[in-house]
Amino acid sequence: MEKIPANIKHEIEKLVKDLNYHCYRYYVLDSPVISDEEYDKQYRHLKELEEKYNYVLPDSPTQRVGAPPLDRFEKVKHTEPMLSLDNAFSHDEVREFDERVKRFLKSDKDVEYTVEPKYDGLAMELTYRNGILIKASTRGDGVEGEDVTVNIKTIKAVPLKIEEVDAPEEIDIRGEIYMDIKEFETLNREREKEGGPAFANPRNAAAGAIRQLDSSITAKRKLHLACYGIGAAKGIAFKSQWEFIQWLKKSRFPVPSLIRRVTGADKVIEVIREIEEKRSTFPFEADGAVIKVNDFELQKSLGIKTREPRWATAYKFPAHQGITKINEIIASVGRTGTITPVAFLEPVRIGGVTVSRSTLHNWDEIGRKDIRVGDTVVVERAGDVIPHVVSVITEKRTGREKHFSPPKKCPVCGSAVERDEGGVAFRCIGLNCTAQVQQRIGHYVSRTAMDIEGLGEKNVELLYSRGLIKHFVDIYRLKKEDLLELPRYAEKSAQNLMDAIEKSKHTTLARFLYSLGILHVGEYAAKLLARNFEDIGDLYHVKPERIMEIKQMGEKIAGSIALFFDDPENIHTLRTLQSLGVKISNPDFSKEKEAKRPLEGLTFVITGTLPRPRNEIEELIEQNGGHASGSISKSTDYLLLGEDPGSKFKKAQSLGVKIISFDELAKMIEERA
């Protein structure tokens, strides 16, 4: 095989990294920073490069759907995968899709399709058993989603029981949860009155409502449902998509507001034009049209590709754009400390909405597009994200435009700023930064950190809103009588929280380091530090070179740790915690001195289904000195192989990585102990 040029390899790796980040923002955090159109453009470019050079990374977004679900809800495995759709951006590409279908079916006969609006909401699967709704789950990564049944039941459009028809033994009905545009605007006005941040778009508002731990909040959001698909089914069968839609109607399920059954590509395009013309009259956001082969037998014959079905595609409408001027650029600090440049614009109407601000994403983006304060720019609003600047109209420059440089200090707290992973974003390192206080508190009290039971997201928000905690240090200043004055706290619950706080004062160095939320320091890196430094004080003003002496600690993570522990405010905060009674032991350091651990210095990657849960096996590896990695590379020592392995198996074979079973891993630990 021809060697891949270094610049192409680097471009593919960067695209994979960027797209995975945007998948995480869109599917997990419901907080996208680029438009669907820009994502689709980058995704298509990645696919082209992968196919041309036969170079596919195991974590490429072309190998999966969406992103892993959050841990806020129990995980649910879909009986049949919930796939995403390939996209078409022109009428010619719709015709190309039709030709591919006919070519695959080895037929010149015109194919019958259904065409409907593409709702911009949150994909959902509703499972009914003997007619009763027993489960509702998000798409998640396509294979596994989040159980949001309690919240879904608050939506009046969702039938709790299948009526009017004989209910099947079991059926998975798929659809889109969305919020009407007018209801979205009302919600944002209410949030602004209360001093809260406005949602960027109806999709984010709907997704945020579905992921509320308090279902009463979901009930207030006035969400809607449009059903359009079927997953697994027992006791019922349909011949076509059209027949299924008619069954949904009879069963009192809401279906797309406009759906047509037509034959041939030309008729499909006519319906696309109809939907686009009516788009502005829809009460919901629609960013395209969905085209499906109508006949289910033909769908079965066509099958699926890695990421999407061959029998469907989504036609994406062009984004709305406008021309305006950048009056000012500010550095905005997010709840995780990431600093984002935001442009304040001369107000301009785009797609029926007045736009007065736009994200600039990061300083690399500013440099690439050469964006300056005072520039006249093209701004895009695709109806699904915060507006962004597409390009600068350089012909309009007067010479008075000004560059906007990245900050050297955090604009909120004045702490040092460092470049984030990959050199794209800048981030404040300050433990005391008010912009990121709630996120830091939430991380500090989490189960894998200081493990303070009773301080979940809702209670952190409550205590913060009442001014009782403005920093995680304040947790240790809480008094029982303060809690008793709050809603949801009675004598027992208040005492339970005080007991949990007291218990957390006795922790290990590894847990404590992880709880601080130092950039790049996850649980494994925290354990490595604990094995090599006996006391927290040994890390104060540590040099990067000392960190890099530890195997698997690179320059990037070493620089982040050294910068954190060189900040006087951070050190003062750590000493304050100790003065409030936090006692830090370090069993990892003493164990390190006693004996070398069986898997010391070895890197393992896991693939397939194993006899024990993956997290338990990863913990077993790390407890014995090894490192459990998520991706295969030349530095991987062993691939731990289970049943039904993924693409990592082939990658390991191509790289010559040694492949072992779980039994062989257990034997390795036993023999080396």
Q: Tally Cβ neighbours within 10 Å of residue 427.
A: 22
Q: Which of 172, 291, 289, 284 is nearest to 236 (CA)?
A: 172
Q: What angle do CA 420, 47, 241 make, to 5 degrees?
A: 115
Q: CA–CA distance from 518 to each of 81, 406, 460, 525, 536 (Å)?
A: 36, 21, 20, 10, 14
Q: Which amino acid is at 317?
A: F
CA–CA separation, 246 and 240 (whole Å)? 10
Pair of tokens at residue 36: 């669907």
118 is catalytic: yes
Residues 88, 108 contacting (CB under 8 angstroms): no
Give helix then strand counts, H and E, for the chain: 24, 24
CA–CA separation, 606 and 619 (whole Å)? 12
Question: What letter does residue 111 receive in the DSSP assignment?
Answer: P
**How does strand 417-419 pair with strand 638-641?**
unpaired
Q: Tally Cβ neighbours within 10 Å of residue 583.
A: 9
Q: Which amino acid is at 632?
A: I
Which residue in the list 14, 118, 267, 369 is annotated as catalytic?
118
Question: What letter does residue 409 receive in the DSSP assignment?
Answer: B
**How does strand 638-641 pair with strand 658-660?**
parallel
| CA R_g for the chain | 27
Q: Which of 555, 569, 557, 562 is nearest to 519 (CA)?
A: 557
Residues annotated as catalytic are: 118
